[in-house]
Structure 1
Amino acid sequence: MKTIVLALAALAVAGGPISPLAAQEVPPAPGAEAVAPAVPARTVPVVLTTERGPITIALEVERAPLTAANFLRYVDQKRLDGTVFYRSFKWSDGTPGGFIQGGTQNDPKRILKPVPHEPTSQTGLSHVDGAISLARGEPGTGTGDFFIILGDMTGFDADEKQPGFAVFGRIVEGMDVVRAIADSPRSPTAGEGVMKGEMLEPQIRIVTARRAPAAKAAQ
């Protein structure tokens, strides 16, 4: 598994098919106790309206309460309105996967107090296709920048060797928009260090970020 360093301090899956018969309900054996179905964790939907179209996010307010609440503060205070997606990372050798990054870019007029780090080893979330995660430098320094995963980037998850990054939601509508942003032109010279050549040109504006009807998060 490839892993990379986001260098945000600068800007900061096999089973066969199931037959219809096998999928039918089988009555429990006499004396067997019925097992209640698992209740999905509660989420809160947010819509990012971008120049390329809307992106709906289900925020994991139960599984990643601190990080999700942090994002909601930026939404409710309209601190993400007018910010941009400014970065698109792709593997140089064509390996599937990548991410787009956006947010406040450490603008002192927009950022709030940093949020404590919630590792994926604690939340049970992962950097899989459609996950949204908090950008940061050192653990506990994340504010208003975030990135959205394309493909499998589980190298960003926490393990015994690294704290990883904090996933706090998933995209439930608008992955086509995310992919369109990821495929946008990039400057060959903009950016510093590992980010050189990854900066979008032009940047993609986030017009508004707003809470959405609860039904959106269930899709």
Structure 2
Amino acid sequence: MRILTALIFSLLLSPAWADEIQSDNLFPQVKMETSLGTMIVELDRTRAPLTVDNFLRYVVKGAYDNTSFHRVVAEFVVQGGGYTAGGDPIDEGDKLFNESGNGLSNEYGTIAMAREKEPHTATNQFFFNLVDNTRLDPSRRRWGYAVFGMVTEGLEVLDAMGEVPVEYDPDMGAQSKPVKPLLLIKATLMPES
């Protein structure tokens, strides 16, 4: 009876997607197959549990498959997660609490959540830091951008992404739109090791 009660209790407390996103894995890994090569990203659930769970829900649903990295700013960031390869916006989930005060810094090779001006507005878009962008970290006066993992394999792919030719993007008001589509072909949550 105790086992049955514990099972029912755990099912009530655990969302249906908990197993799909390896909720017990503190450092899940995501394989990102891009049009320039493959990267492995290790996420840090110990420092950014809400952000990691949010990101992995998009991954396991396939929401990031066949999407574009729509913003590239050399020696700054490569941003994706918002648009299909055809340019249509992907469905956004709920807005997240900003976990930028977690002790992780926007250093070269890290992945962080993109957001609007307001601090708790991140949904599906993310970016990779091409250099140390500590100015994106929080301070006593402002919220930062929540880092939730880092590239552990394929940094050369990230570097190549940061060097693609770009053109003016009227939506961003900057030279940041890749001239040739820069694609995230598939994002896959890797099996626990």
TM-score by structure 1 length? 0.70
Identity of aligned residues (%): 33
Corresponding position of 2:62: 78
Give ranges in structure 2 of 5+ residues lacking alignment: 1-24
Corresponding position of 1:125: 104
- The structure 1 residue matched to 2:95, chosen from 114, 118, 128, is 114
Corresponding position of 1:198: 176
SS of equivalent to 1:198: strand
Corresponding position of 1:55: 39
Corresponding position of 2:189: 211
Q: Distance in 1 between matches of 2:113 and 2:170?
A: 20
Aligned in 2, Cα 1:88/1:208: closer, same or farther, shift over 3 Å? same
**1:108 CA displacement:** 5.8
Q: Distance in 2 between matches of 1:174 and 1:85?
A: 16
**1:202 CA displacement:** 1.5
Task: Give the conservation status (yes or no) of the 8 Å contact 1:81–1:207.
Answer: yes
Task: Give the conservation status (yes or no) of the 8 Å contact 2:109–2:129.
Answer: yes
Q: Distance in 2 between matches of 1:168 and 1:103?
A: 15
Amino acid at match of 2:151: I
Corresponding position of 2:114: 135
Give ranges in structure 1 of 5+ residues lacking alignment: 1-40, 91-96
The structure number with the bigger radius of gyration is: 1
Q: Distance in 2 between matches of 1:186 and 1:108?
A: 20
Deviations 1:15-46 (A, max 9, x none): xxxxxxxxxxxxxxxxxxxxxxxxxx931000
Q: Distance in 1 between matches of 2:104 and 2:96?
A: 18
Task: Give the conservation status (yes or no) of the 8 Å contact 2:115–2:125.
Answer: yes
Q: How many residue pairs align between the two structures?
A: 165
Q: Distance in 2 between matches of 1:51 and 1:186?
A: 16
**1:109 CA displacement:** 4.7
Deviations 1:97-122 (A, max 9, x none): 41111112496652211111112x2x
Task: Give the conservation status (yes or no) of the 8 Å contact 1:191–1:198.
Answer: no
Corresponding position of 1:99: 77
Amino acid at match of 2:135: G
Amino acid at match of 1:149: N
Q: Distance in 2 between matches of 1:103 and 1:109?
A: 8
Task: Give the conservation status (yes or no) of the 8 Å contact 1:105–1:144.
Answer: no
